[in-house]
Structure 1
């Protein structure tokens, strides 16, 4: 049997710079210089190289190029719980801004309690990520962030912030927003208010708890559950804590929640027990998730511009990657109180 000899590169394999060089009859270095626009290459040679590359279907191996210069055009985004709608919304902002600049975004889920924060950050750096975006830092991450600072790794804190860390950050004024929400709820005549916050290790949860406390005090209202302030930012946690609270028999006029997920859990329990909202119990959330204004829910809450937070965070990180060495910048985004039917 006679077989025909194949000419040119194997069509099943990726076309390399060597294939282009063979087609033109020059060295691989000459092709590299021509394609990168470096001086010393004639216009005629550059035209022949580009024509051969197009004919062969050659695409530069960007990963290899990036690895040679010690980093990739990619950043790492680390967050706590992909099931929490807050984080996908924030991630969409990061990805949109990164795409415009030709960057990829590698996403890592560090666990609700942040137990994989260090492991995930190191894995991102092993991929030669150019910088990191943290959304879920807590007190136990201080050593990690200080280590990254010493190593010169650019990073930005989004949403949650460790005070005293020399890094850019993008936040909302959670204390002021929570104070405004609490004043609204107390202003509807609610005087005995429960607070179901998030994790006590989170700067966001602590600021919201302090804001709730200040707003209620200013209106002459009191917190009735000092022993039950902290918990997970989940619907299940909201329901479990609401059941425990209502089972004590103490009078409760309203519940201020650390996020909208907790508030939905509280509303679940209200339906279980036949409590009317807001007539028997007012309920307010935080973050203004997409479901908060859907259908009959109409949850009173505070809008946090999550997508904008992601966009601004990437912009700050890119500036650091490109060499900016000015002092840390904190960007405070606007929030909006959304008064809906669950507070009357």
Structure 2
């Protein structure tokens, strides 16, 4: 019979080494960790067998048993939105440089699972959490994590009601600036398509759009219907609905690239030219905003830097950094592309840094 351990079909454990050496698992542990408890001859035998079987210690399990796990968790919203995967990828890389592993959990659209998932991370003895999609409904969860001594950092979305560190951009200012530059081209019939109302990021972006419109005496055609799911499919259906009800609309201010791509899908299906008949903006500056013929005007948010900062800030707290909560405002860039045309709008401007605050 083929040995599943020997041919590498499953991970080698100390039980496998003990069985091969004819000793106890405790003896194997003593030998591998270089502590007293076995003779030199038995220790060498165990080490030789471990090398033969290509044994690799499970560092996470060791840390968990010792109560000193160098493991952090990250809770993501919808991984179909590249914002979250880019933040997570950068956080994982930054954590690895500090010797930390990362448990990643995908909440999908079922954000009501957030408390359950967060506490399951705590049950696994993680040292801290990065949260990317907090809403006002999560204030009790954040307070509970704080009471349990779990370090937390909010990335992308952030709540000021709970004293956690946060890293992100000034979404309100960025939305206002993007809308102002596009409106300079003369478009007047405007709809806003945002994510869910519960999101602080969505509310700030909508506020920025509204401010830019108000400065020009423009009321959105859908003032009471700007909120909805943050998916490409929702972008299609919501763009279809608003354009059916307001056929003269010539600009869609979308609060995410994902929604904007869906809106562009509908424009193509409806035979509308972009930007001739309809201009569309996105937000976030993800890869889908400039994929092939799709060239969206957007706000470029530094997602990788956001993920790196979140991991660094969290590990600093875990390792003893003290002081008041840090709110780290990152630069953003307004990028004008084909989806809004020239239309007299100003050219793209260099990245503008928000004020860092502590």
**More deviation, 280-289/66-75:** 66-75
TM-fit CA distance, 1:52: 7.2
CA 1:176–1:51 in 2, change beyond 3 Å: closer, same or farther?
farther
Instruction: Tell me, in whole angstroms, the C-alpha distance in 2 between the residues paired with 1:271 and 1:328.
Output: 46
Instruction: Tell me, in whole angstroms, the C-alpha distance in 2 between the residues paired with 1:30 and 1:342.
Output: 65
Q: 2:221–2:246: 8 Å Cα contact kept in structure 1? A: no
Does 2:338 align with 1:341? Answer: yes
| The one of 64, 74, 77 aligned to 1:77 | 74
Give the gaps of 5 or more residues in structure 1: 1-9, 36-40
TM-fit CA distance, 1:197: 0.6
Instruction: Tell me, in whole angstroms, the C-alpha distance in 1 between the residues paired with 2:306 and 2:246.
Output: 41
Instruction: Tell me, in whole angstroms, the C-alpha distance in 1 between the residues paired with 2:291 and 2:119.
Output: 40
| The one of 201, 218, 221 aligned to 1:221 | 218
Q: 1:187–1:219: 8 Å Cα contact kept in structure 2? A: no
Instruction: Tell me, in whole angstroms, the C-alpha distance in 1 between the residues paired with 2:44 and 2:95.
Output: 28
Q: 2:194–2:255: 8 Å Cα contact kept in structure 1? A: yes
Give deviations 1:194-245, integer Å, cap 9, x for gaps: 1001100000000000011112222343311112110011111111111111
Aligned to 2:326: 329
Q: 1:254–1:281: 8 Å Cα contact kept in structure 2? A: yes
**More deviation, 102-111/259-268:** 102-111
TM-score w.r.t. the length of structure 1 is 0.85
Matches of residues 188-267 of structure 1 in structure 2 within 5 Å?
A: 188-267=185-264
Instruction: Tell me, in whole angstroms, the C-alpha distance in 2 between the residues paired with 1:108 and 1:260.
Output: 23
Give deviations 1:18-41, integer Å, cap 9, x for gaps: 89x999xxx889757757xxxxx9
Rg larger for: 1
Q: 1:177–1:337: 8 Å Cα contact kept in structure 2? A: yes
Matches of residues 173-192 of structure 1 in structure 2 within 5 Å?
A: 173-192=170-189
Q: 2:14–2:28: 8 Å Cα contact kept in structure 1? A: no
Instruction: Tell me, in whole angstroms, the C-alpha distance in 2 between the residues paired with 1:116 and 1:71.
Output: 27
CA 1:235–1:59 in 2, change beyond 3 Å: closer, same or farther?
closer
Q: 2:202–2:255: 8 Å Cα contact kept in structure 1? A: yes
| The one of 135, 143, 156 aligned to 1:146 | 143
Give deviations 1:274-302, integer Å, cap 9, x for gaps: 21111111110001111211221111111
Aligned to 2:290: 293
Superposed CA RMSD in Å reads 2.8
TM-fit CA distance, 1:128: 1.2
TM-score w.r.t. the length of structure 2 is 0.82
CA 1:59–1:302 in 2, change beyond 3 Å: closer, same or farther?
same
Q: 2:132–2:157: 8 Å Cα contact kept in structure 1? A: yes
CA 1:75–1:253 in 2, change beyond 3 Å: closer, same or farther?
same
TM-fit CA distance, 1:115: 1.2
CA 1:266–1:33 in 2, change beyond 3 Å: closer, same or farther?
closer
CA 1:155–1:249 in 2, change beyond 3 Å: closer, same or farther?
closer
